[in-house]
Structure 1
Amino acid sequence: MKKLLAGILLLLSVVMHAQTKVSGMVIDESGIPVPFANVLFKNSSEGTITNDDGRFYLESENTFTTLVVSFVGYATKEIPLEKRVNYDMKIELEEGEQLKEVVVYVGKQSKKNNPAIDLLRKVLERKRKNGVHGFDQYKYDKYEKVEFDLNTIDSSLIHGKLFKGMEFIFDQMDTSRITGKTYLPIFINEAFYKVHGDNKLSKKKEKLVGNRNSGFSSNQNIISFVQDLYSDYDIYKSYLKFFDKSFVSPISRVGIDTYNYVLTDSTYIDNKWCYNIIYYPRRKNELTFKGDFWVSDTTYAVKKINLQVTKSANINWVKDIYIEQEFEVLNDSVFLLTRDYMMSDFSLRKKEESRGVYGKRTTIYDNYIFDEEKPRSFYNEEVDRFDAQVYERDDTFWQENRLEVLNKNESGIYKMLDTLKTVPKFKRLYNVGEILASGYVEIDKWNMDYGPIFSSFGYNDAEGIRLRGGGRTYFGPNDRWRIEGFGAYGFKDKKFKYGISAKWLLDRENRLIISGGNRRDVEQIGVSLTPNNDVLGRSYASSSVFTVGSNDKLTNINLTTADMEMEPAKNFRFKVEGSFRMLRSALPEAFSLDYVDPESPTGVSSQVKQLELTTSLEYTPGRKTVGYGVERRDVNDEYARFYINYAKGVSGFLESDFDYEKIQFYFRKPWNVGGFGRLYTTVEAGKTFGEVPLGLLSIVPGNQTYFSIFNTFPNLDFYEFVTDTYVSMHLEHNFNGRIFARVPLLRKLNLREIVGLRGVWGELSEENIALNQPTNMLLQAPSEKVYWEYSFGIGNIFRVFRIDFNFRGNYLDMPDARRFSVTGTFGFHF
């Protein structure tokens, strides 16, 4: 009886939210599904196309009595709609001729005489003449609403154990106008912006005026995920980036070779005669869309467009992506974007009945004003990111500035979540999710977090089994100061290790931060060319449970640092630091850090004491962050990083041993190479002036673990190459399945091909070789020729695993040289 009542309530909610709803499947005379068929309400421009399985869902706020279904090669069929809601329809198309007034082309036929492609070329010729690009200056208001919903709600879920005691949340259920599935809103974020731009100066300024969300404003993980997930895109560009993937835009020259285009209809839209073009991919398993768009016959601007990711697209954890954009006619020559809607259906499986989470973003653009010139200084002024009023706007503000009214269920999210957070069971579920996302366990009553829990266990030859526990202060995501620390114990060496650091944000506007700390630990210091004085950091090598050969080249390190940094301009950081370190071997019988020391009674010293003063500059153009406290979280990862570091070693003070100078450069950049995937590049160079012991030289980073780790050489052992002058480059390209998608037997596995190439050249002076002679190690640099490696990898195995086959290119005659290795890694990637 309860299930029946729940079903009746769901049906009533469906009927009340739209005038006409239809769903079903389109098949041919043999019962085979017809994908990409055109489905629309008669005498309207409201329609959709069937998916890869021939299924469709369509709804409208208006009342329609006839549904029209058509596809190339079949006779158009009109179906009377006797009710406002018609679900599970089965529509059979018969082979026949198309409408005589419309010429259509399908398949991989010639593109020369296709009227749809002729129209598309005219759109591309005029794409910069439409919209805000047609004016010298522009400004507008932008309202953005991001929402997450639990979807595919049924009676078994409502009455299941998971939601016992929280059944009241289902009062907010609604039905998707795109998929026809029931859903429950669980998160909403609203933002209102004032946007100014100058096309002559190539400047744009976006000011956040108000921001509000339903109960998770302090959760940096959710906020950064949302902002990265829904970055801006332009349908006129060749590629649209979603989830770190580049999808081919149907409104592009690249699209002509990627999609089939069919001219299907023409009608008036807002008193403008427009043509309707359906598009769908030429090949499966590529990152493509299917859908349709309307084009004006005078301006050749896109009036309306729908994009839906094909089911065969090589993307994980996302069952569906649906996009709508609408444009307004300003005059005979200008169309302006007024509404942008995007919905993603996240799910562990791509089956139709599987549950998941909708992620939806709606952006409304209004109040356009043009050609009001502002001085260059207006655009150069930094937007105040720390205005607390932005996050404290009252209901009156949102009633005046919300450009799209919230529906009843969206409005109820705020109240519902306020109530939900008082339910103990929900708090437990939320805390578990937060622990998995951040790695920390919140202890609210002490204003601190325990963790990171993923570093609790480790193993190496010096410490044996290692257990670690740590924590940090945490009053909120925008804390101006933070103290962190850890303690660890090795069961083999029976020694206690620790680290503690503190940092304080003195000036938010210029991000002036002072920090310091101390760490005593066991570390593998030869795993990175670029310096890292993080007193809480730890390399993968010194904690890896399984390694190739002996992992015995470990160092006892006692490091103390004090530094000051500031960001005088956005993404430009300046830092000065002083550090003092003491280094000695953690396994003297297997690994030596000895060096010649005339002042020592034995002529040899085994410990290094060194004071170092450093100055560094870092520039990260395009980097986006969330938060304004002493710690911030990156929103995106496609930005470049330029880093230069100058270090001066000072002897005498605090018994410091050596005088030297060191300069180092680092560049890293991921590149989206259109439909060919993503290329990751790193270039490093450095030189040390002066004589220094092994612990202060630049070690080419080997990798004796079984994990694939970018910026290391997997066929090199630790300390196999040692340098005081070096240049290194790493290239890794992920084709995202573009090659495998063309192999019939591999196509359905959605595997991804990865290739890598890396090389390093370096020198080691005779003076440094002589100074380190007591180590009894063969110290050698790749100076005769560039040492290089290459690799072939297969990613997305079972959607979570990657395996790499690594080959050594030269220096094969070195003792115990590893010619070949296999490494792998786990990860969740879209």
Structure 2
Amino acid sequence: MKTLFTQILNKTAVLLLVLLSSAAALHAQTVVRGVVTDAKTKQPMSYVTVTFAGTTQGSGTNGQGRYAISTTDNTVTQIKVSFVGYRTAVRNITTGQDQTINIALTEDNHSLNEVVVRSGKKKKYTNKNNPAVELIRQVIAHKAQNQVENYNYAEYKQYERMNFSLSNLSDKFRNKRIFKNYQFLFREQDSTAIGGKTLLPMYQEEKTSDNYFRKAPYAKKQIITANKQVKYDENFVDNQGLTAYFNRMYQDINIYDNNVSLLSNQLLSPISNSSPEFYKFFITDTLKDVQPNLIELSFTPRNTNNLLFEGKIYITMDGNYAVQNALLTVNKNINLNFVRQMQAALSFEKNNDGRYHLSQSDLKIEFGINKNKGGGVYGERLVTINNFVINNARTDDTYKGDSQVIALNAEDKDDTYWQMTRPDTLDAASASIYKNIDSLQTIPSFKKTMDIATLVLAGYKNYGAFEVGPANTFYSFNPVEGFRVRLGGRTTPQLSKRYYFETYGAYGAKDEKFKYFLSSTYSLNNKSIYSFPQNYIRASFQHDTKIPGQELQFVQESNFLLSFKRGANDIWLYNDILRFDYVHEFTNHLSYSLGFKKWDQTPAGALLYQSLLPNGVINNVNLIQTTELSAQIRWAPHEKFYQGKLYRTPIPDKYPIFTLNYTQGVKGLFGGDYNYQNVVGNISKRFYLSQLGFTDVTTEGGYLFGSVPFPLLDIHHANQTYAFQLQSYNLMNFQEFVSDHYASIAIDHNFNGFLFNRIPLLKKLKLREIIDFKGLWGGVRSENNPQNNNSLLQFPGSLNAGGAGTYALGSTPYVEGSIGVGNIFKLLRVDFVRRFTYLDHPGAPEYGIRFFVKFDF
């Protein structure tokens, strides 16, 4: 009996296995994946339709030409690949297997018989009764529901790669003697691709990150889990600053935003609320062999010089009116400097709820001084998003803290990690760039070239642990010192990453006096004191000259070009300044600083410090001594920097910057003569106005408590150079106005060619129109006005007629404005400036021409 039972059980088990196997075979999944390329150029093709032959099941290729389709239908034996202008390709597949099939499409060169269409009059484009415009209005109406911000929660993993190369290089260039040892760096590609035939890769960076979004309370956080980049010698290149600069140029493209940031400009999105007023739209194809069905919508600018895109978007016809794919380029006539070619390919994937999220973004741009020929720079930023999860709430700790966090071991990932994490395989040139750049920096000729470049561009000559410069301060001249020579330098991280020393010595041939400066800085976070976030203490002493009321932005006071000034330039000071400073920045861009300053100032040149004795005799005062304690709080959310070796320059953005300063003068402390308190607040912000350009607005107010002589009042920033300064009054004389309470506003609006693009000649020159306004309100209270107190220092000019004087603002504000033309030769801005008030002051100019050199895209 037992044997019979065993036999029955075995036969039953075998039968069940056979049935299960048959069922599994019947429902086995067929998966086909691969890459579609152009047979001629070998370049990947985006938005190619790939379907199972005889069905509507399929998909389109992404920005990298990749596709993946699957089915449980065991009757399919082929896939069909089709694209407009190319021959349809059909390939056999194996049912029930996961397989890779790469396909190269060839152009369909069938010639058509000539067709002549004659029309009495070309039909004028109009938005009225235009089905393409009606469709884009539906896309606009559904924008809110198709954005990630519409979800309560969202999270995803992201891979990002940026690379930059010298592009469009000729064989003559490559074969130059200087590149004899660098041939291993060059990369060949098809000549029709962006960047030309020969490239010289110079930079690459890869990142992986975990990203989290919460709608309420709003939070967006990125945790960088891995980071790998080409690193240059820090004596020549600031790697962190280079990364920040590239990230600013190649920002994320969100087609659902009304305006898309690109190269520090904002281009109107083809699906912005006002896009039908600036774009022409055309329905150019319908794709019914994919699910969901798509409509190909082509668009072009009404004015090809305006900051607008052109290209195609593919709209889903499933009720969502979502963008599934987009191909964005720019017209060659666009008022965008140095851009030869630009292409952005966006791909979106369907979520479980039927809506779409961005799955891939591929932005390629080639730059060149000459838009048509010669070498240039080619850059690409690829972003791939996967593991997209919606409405999965995390703990509050996940969303708290800084918007971007770098994991402690982010730079420690090995090659195996990157091979497993990358969504694609790097080509040979990209894979070897990290090793190649390391090898490049060991070549003596490259070190010599970088040494020369650092001297020319940054102004410093490197000697290892110490560098000499900046070169533009070696020689200058002014009425007080005559010909001035200066030599200085600073230490580099090669000496220490914590200790920094800076010094210079100068000598004036006319006053025959030596000047000098000494500074010692200790970094508390073991990072460069110029990199973000700063955290350091510094002690310094300076014995030198200064112009009261001159405020320079990112320029050394001894700069040779500042030697040329308009009008009388003979109001100077000799200063002895001892300072101690503590600066602490946080990664959320909140910072504070504490300071101690002992300042001894002596008038020089035509400047006199004079008071009236009780008997009416003029008394000359040769020294004013102050001791100050200060504190500053600054908040600059999302701030980015252009990082230099000497300074860092904040990149203007839509986010405001708040600054609050408090200064306490202490009488009797280390010889200080006065008690006073000074509070100054400043708010600055850039407003983007879409096609009307952008406006930079700065407001500031200050109040000084206490009774002090005029050199300790707020001396308003004047400018007597021929350079246009955004935060100074360009037709105000040095030390012309002082206040103990004031409020000011500065407005600088750049139309980005919005008006000039409508004038044929100016349109061709790609000039940009600018207007600027500055207003200053303020005054001096009676206790600080020397007319009411003879013991105070008298305002210059009040005791000696004929010379330029110092004044308190009255009920009338100081006002000046300018009309400017920018983008002259792509570098120069020229402003015609007019001063509207206080024209009766001696030496007050009513008009002036000022120049501003700025590298703009």
Q: Same fold (TM over 0.5)?
A: yes
**Equivalent in 807, 811, 815 of residue 784 of structure 1:** 811
Aligned-pair distance for 1:426? 2.4
Which whole-Å CA distance do the structure 1 matches of 2:364 and 2:496 have between them?
30
SS state of the match for residue 200, structure 1? coil
Whole-Å separation in 2 of the counterparts to 1:261 and 1:649: 65
* 1:694 Cα deviation from its structure 2 partner: 2.7
Q: Report SS of the residue matched to 2:209.
A: strand
CA distance in 1, matches of 2:338, 2:851: 21
Match of 2:437 in 1: 417
Alpha-carbon distance between aligned partners in 2 of 1:331 and 1:630, rounded to the nearest angstrom: 52
**Distance in 2 of aligned mates of 1:300 and 1:85:** 30
Q: Aligned ranges for residues 411-560 of structure 1 at < 5 Å?
A: 411-444=431-464, 446=465, 448-475=466-493, 479-506=497-524, 512-528=535-551, 538-539=556-557, 544-560=562-578
Q: Name the CA distance, whole Å, in 2 between partners of 1:626 and 1:757.
A: 26
Q: Say if 1:304 and 1:85 are closer, same or farther in 2 by CA, change over 3 A.
A: closer
Contact 2:221–2:402, Cα closer than 8 Å, also in 1: no
How many angstroms apart in 1 are the aligned matches of 2:461 and 2:498? 21
Bigger Rg, which one: 2
Partners of 2:831 and 2:462 lie apart in 1 by 37
Q: Secondary structure at the match of 2:256?
A: coil
Decide which of 336, 354, 358 is 1:315's aligned counterpart: 336
Residue type of the partner of 2:497? Answer: D
Match of 2:580 in 1: 562
1:330 maps to 2:351: yes
Correspondence 1:164-313 to 2 at 5 A = 164-170=180-186, 177-178=193-194, 181-216=197-232, 218=234, 219-220=237-238, 221-268=241-288, 271-298=291-318, 299-313=320-334
Q: Deviations over 1:553-594 (max 9, x none)?
A: 11111111112233467222222211100001121xx21133
1:693 corresponds, among 659, 684, 709, to 709
Deviations 1:305-346 (A, max 9, x none): 011111111111222221010111234621121110001111
Q: Does 1:572 align with 2:595?
A: no
Would you say the 8 A contact 1:144–1:362 is kept in 2? yes
Determine if contact 2:281/2:297 at 8 Å carries over to the other structure. yes
**Where does residue 719 of structure 2 map in the other structure?**
703
Where does residue 96 of structure 2 map in the other structure?
A: none
Q: CA deviation at 1:96?
A: 5.4
Contiguous gaps of at least 5 residues in structure 1:
1-15, 24-38, 46-57, 70-76, 99-104
CA distance in 1, matches of 2:670, 2:262: 53
Instruction: Determine which of 30, 36, 39 is the counterpart of 1:20.
Output: 39
Q: How far did residue 348 of structure 1 move?
A: 0.5
Q: Deviations over 1:619-678 (max 9, x none)?
A: 112213699x99977566554221111211111222211111211111222222211112
Deviation, structure 1 residue 512: 4.7
Partner of 1:373: 393
Which residue does the alignment assign to 1:624? 640
Q: Could you tell me how far apart the structure 1 residues matched to 2:153 and 2:575 are?
A: 58
1:670-709 deviation per Cα after TM superposition (whole angstroms, max 9, x unaligned): 2222111121111111122222223211122222111101
**TM-score, structure 2 as length reference:** 0.81
| Native 8 Å contact 2:337 2:826 kept in 1 | yes
1:673 maps to 689
1:718 equivalent in alignment to 2:734? yes
Identify which of 771, 776, 800 aligns with 1:760: 776
Distance 1:724 1:90, change over 3 A: farther
State how many pairs are aligned: 763
- SS of residue in 2 equivalent to 1:580: strand
Counting aligned pairs with the same residue, the percent is 28
- Coordinate RMSD, CA, aligned: 3.9
**Take 2:135 and 2:167, find their aligned partners in 1: how far apart are those partners?**
39
- Secondary structure of the residue that 2:181 maps to in structure 1? coil
After superposition, the Cα gap between the structure-2 partners of 1:179 and 1:289, relative to the gap in structure 1 and judged at 3 Å, is farther
1:135 aligned onto 2:147: no
Q: Which moved more, 1:404-413 or 1:549-558?
A: 404-413
- CA drift at 1:292: 0.4
d(CA) in 2 for partners of 1:636, 1:480: 30
TM-fit CA distance, 1:387? 5.4
Match of 2:138 in 1: 122
Residues 437-476 of structure 1: CA deviation (Å, up to 9, x unaligned): 43333332x2x33322333332211122222222222217
Q: Which residue of 2 aligns with 1:48?
A: none
Residue identity opposite 2:328 in structure 1 = L
Using a 3 Å threshold, how does the CA distance of structure 1 residues 158 and 727 change in structure 2: closer, same or farther?
A: same
Q: Partners in 1 of 2:762 and 2:457 — Cα distance?
A: 33
* Residue 521 of structure 1: how far off its partner (Å): 0.8
Which range moved further: 553-562 or 540-549?
A: 540-549
Give unpaired runs (5+ residues) of structure 2. Answer: 1-34, 52-62, 68-78, 90-102, 527-531, 787-791, 799-804
3-state SS of paired residue (1:585) = strand
Looking at structure 2, the residues matched to 521 and 652 of structure 1 have their Cα atoms a distance apart, in angstroms, of 24
Alpha-carbon distance in 1 for matches of 2:498, 2:152: 41
Contact residue 559 and residue 580 of structure 1 kept, 8 A: yes
How much does 1:748 deviate? 0.2
Q: Structure 1 residues 106 and 527, CA, compared in 2 at 3 Å: closer, same or farther?
A: farther
- Residue 301 of structure 1: CA displacement? 0.7
The answer to whether structure 1 residue 150 and structure 2 residue 150 are counterparts is no
User: Normalising to structure 1: TM-score of the pair?
Assistant: 0.84
Distance in 1, Cα, partners of 2:559 & 2:746: 19
Cα pair 1:464 1:491 within 8 Å, conserved: yes
SS at match of 1:237: coil
Q: Is the 8 A contact 2:36 2:104 kept in 1?
A: no
Contact 1:482 1:630 in 2 (8 A): no
Alignment correspondent of 1:52? none
Report how far residue 395 of structure 1 moved: 0.9
Cα offset, 1:774, TM superposition: 7.3
What is the deviation of 1:729?
Answer: 1.1
Deviation string, structure 1 residues 695-741 (Cα, Å, up to 9, x no partner)? 21112222211110112122211122222221111111111111110
2: CA distance, partners of 1:93 / 1:723? 82
Instruction: Report what 2:422 is aligned to.
Output: 402
